[in-house]
Amino acid sequence: MAGASCCGPKLAACGLVLSAWAVIMLAMLGIFFTTHSATLFEDVPIPEEYMHNESNGLQNVYDLYNKVGYNCFIAAGIYVVIGIVSFYNVRMNKRNEYLVR
């Protein structure tokens, strides 16, 4: 059956809402990390040797900011896929309600 859904209507709606929120939040975090926001300094995993390296320590920290930002964008992309699957399931559940049995 090509139009079968893999979860119920409440779980599909919950997945849709959660994925929408996650995409917005992770996209904003990705933007803030790639612009090297100072308020997110504590969320970047900076090794101790970067603190004492005077030659290119700041560039290493900026590279870590970029890596964390790209990870946020990747996670947002995964949540977009989950949102699409949830939207498909919501549509299939609505469609199955109107079918005559």
CA pair distance 40, 60, nearest whole angstrom: 16
pLDDT confidence of residue 2: 56
pTM value? Answer: 0.82
- How many CA atoms are closer than 13 Å to the CA of 15, on its beta-carbon side? 20
Q: Which of 79, 90, 78, 83 is nearest to 7 (CA)?
A: 90
CA atoms of 44 and 89, how far apart (whole Å): 37
Convert the pLDDT of each residue in 61-100 to its tens digit: 888 999 999 999 999 999 999 999 999 999 988 887 666 5
What pLDDT does 3 receive? 64
